[in-house]
Structure 1
Amino acid sequence: MVAEDRPSLLHILTLHYSDLVRHLTRKLGSAASAKDVAQDTYLRLQHVSPDTHVQSPRAYVFRIADNIAVDHLRSEASRARYITSSEVPDQAVDEPLPDRVIDYRQRLTILEQAIAELPPKCREVFLMHKYDDLTHVEIASELGISRSMVEKHVMKALAHCRSRLGDLLD
């Protein structure tokens, strides 16, 4: 069959949408998840070249949907391993006390001021190290300075922040 004569894969999906959702609901056990997978199938089919030769378009659409459903099930299983209902904290219990919130905000304000007081290059190195999580070697390479200079900037910034926070540190 010539590509112009056959219906597009997206058209096949829309023609068999209800069958596909029923099939996916049985596989996934949830109509909402089935509709999500059907939507992902539609998105995936948009990237299939129109001149791709497909012997059985309906089977092809269902196979793509099945593959996406398997990925969905794996993702859910992985998520379930790391988040169990017993580990989900009770929101009211885990909220910090108001005086702790005020204390943390004061510390954060002092820390922000201390970082702002640093010389520009020292501040840049410190932020790259602490917030961008770059190694000393990566920072040195990016800024064109020696690793030793990066270490000196980080040590200077830490000492300055420590002295500004003073006895507020635990």
Structure 2
Amino acid sequence: MIETNRARLCSQLVQSYDELVKQLTRRLGSSDFAHEALHEAFLRLDRVNDATPVRSPKDYIFCTAINIAKDHKKAGLRRLSAASVDVLLDLCDESPDPSRVAEARSEIEAFKRAMAQLPPRRREVLQRIAIEGRTAQEVATSLQVTTRTVETDLKHALTHCADSLSRKPVARLGGPRPRA
């Protein structure tokens, strides 16, 4: 009766198991890694066909285990280490927590109420300068008033909103700084 490659390889693995583990341990530097590679080599023996007979079953098993170990090491290089995963998990989530979101929404609503209490021109000045980012000169031209009137309206609007929000008024909102 002709023995198949798979049968010869399994028989050789059983006979030479301890010796193969020792050789693999020396080569791979880890007994656990040697056992793991040899176990996976055993699982791969099912894939061996009988088209070409295996001349040296022991060498074939050893080479298969070495190739498996190399593949595992390459795959390990592509994976993140446990320390790298911990670092990624510890990254700060910069999005605000729900309490801060609720607080910010509450302040926005309070600011809207404070703006609604302003006279129409002051509300328009505050909207255009503080929110839209226009200059006092642009706002003065569009409202057909002087720049001084716009600056005064802005000052009164900011003071009113700061008082409504229990905040300290902003002394100056942009523009060129006075020379020292």
Shared fold, TM over 0.5: no
Query: TM range, normalised to the smaller chain?
Result: 0.3 to 0.5
Q: Please tell me whether Structure 1 or Structure 2 has the larger radius of gyration of its CA atoms.
A: 2
TM-score (norm 1): 0.44
TM-score (norm 2): 0.42
